[in-house]
Structure 1
Amino acid sequence: MSHYETRLAELGVTLPDAPAPAANYVPSVIVGDTVYISGQISQNDDGFITGKIGADLTVQQGTAAARTCAISLLAQLKAACGGDLSRLVRVVKLTGFVNSTPDFTEQPKVINGASDFLVEALGDAGKHARSAVSAGALPFNVAVEIEGIFQIKT
C-alpha cells in the first residue's frame, strides 16, 4: 500500500474500481510522465449524484459531489499506473464543470470539494492549477464532472 493509500485510509476513503468509460473513449492516456484522465462524473454507492446547483442542489451538496469526482480521478490514476498509486508525483491541473443555473456564480466553491480533498489526501502533491466553469447541462444530469492531469514517475 502506498503512503497515499495509507493517508486515504486514515481519511476513511477506499478507492473504488475505476469507472468504465461510457462511450468510445479511454479513461486515461499517458504521454511521457503525464497522465490525462477523462472527465469523472459525480457518483457514489447509490449511483449518480444529479441535479442543477442553484436549483436542485446547494453549494454544499455540489462540493460533496465534486469530492466524489476527485476520488474517481484517483481511482483512474491508480488503474493507469498499473495499481501503483505511489507513482504519483503531483496533481497538475483540474478542470471542473458544474451543472448550474445561469445566474449561479459560485462554481469555484463547488470545485473546492475536489481541490480541498486532493490536498488533504495527497499533501503538497495534491496542489494544482484549476479551472471551474458552469455548464448548462452535464451527461446523465450529474451535478459535477472533473477531468485531471497528473505527473507520475516513469
Structure 2
Amino acid sequence: MGKFESKLAELGVTLPDAPAPAANYVPYVQVGDIVYVSGQISKGDDGLIVGKMGDDMSTEDGAAAAKICAIALLAQVKAACGGDLDRLVRVIKLTGFVNSTADYGEQPAVVNGASDFIGEALGDAGKHSRSAVSAASLPFGVAVEIEGIFQIK
C-alpha cells in the first residue's frame, strides 16, 4: 500500500472501484501529465445523496456529500494511474456544484467537505485552487457534484 492509500486507511477510507459514467462520457481524460476527472456525484453506500441546500438539506450534510464526491474523484485518479495512487503529483483544481436555493450562500462551506478531506488525505499534494458554484438543480437531484483536475507522473 502506497503513502496516499496508507493515509486514507488511517482516516478510515478505502477507495471504492472508480464509478462508471452515468451517460455518454468517459470518467476521465488524460492529456500529458494532466488528468481531467468528470463530475462525481454524491452517491453513498445507500444510494444517491439527494437534497437542496437551503431547503431540505443542511450545510453539514452537504459537506458530508462533498466528501463522498472527493473519495470518488480519488478513485478515478487511482484508475487513471493504473491502480497506483502514489503517481498523483498534486490536485490542481476542484469545481464543486451545490444544489441550492436562490438565497443560499454557503456553497464554499459545502465544498469544504471535499477540500478539507483532500487536504487531510494528501497533504501538500492536496493543496488546490477551487470554485464553489450554486446550481438550481443537479442530475438525479443529487446534493453535490464535483469535478477535478490532477497532475500525475
Q: For this structure pair, what is the TM-score category when the shorter chain's length is used for normalisation? A: over 0.9
2:105 corresponds to = 105
Could you tell me which runs of 5 or more consecutive residues in structure 1 were left unpaired when the two chains were aligned. none
2:30 corresponds to = 30
CA RMSD of aligned residues (A): 0.4
Percent identity of paired positions between Structure 1 and Structure 2: 75
Partner amino acid, structure 2, of 1:147: E
Q: Distance between the aligned counterparts of 1:53 and 1:65, measured in 2?
A: 11
Q: Distance between the aligned counterparts of 1:23 and 1:100, measured in 2?
A: 23
1:13 Cα offset (Å): 0.1
- The SS at the match of 1:76 is helix
2:116 corresponds to = 116
Q: Deviations over 1:10-51 (max 9, x none)?
A: 000000111000111000000011000000000110011001
- The SS at the match of 1:68 is helix
Q: Distance between the aligned counterparts of 2:50 and 2:63, measured in 1?
A: 13
Q: Distance between the aligned counterparts of 1:34 and 1:114, measured in 2?
A: 20
2:76 corresponds to = 76
Give the TM-score taking structure 1 as reference length. Answer: 0.99
1:2 Cα offset (Å): 1.1
Q: Distance between the aligned counterparts of 2:58 and 2:51, measured in 1?
A: 10
1:50 corresponds to = 50
Q: How many residues align?
A: 153
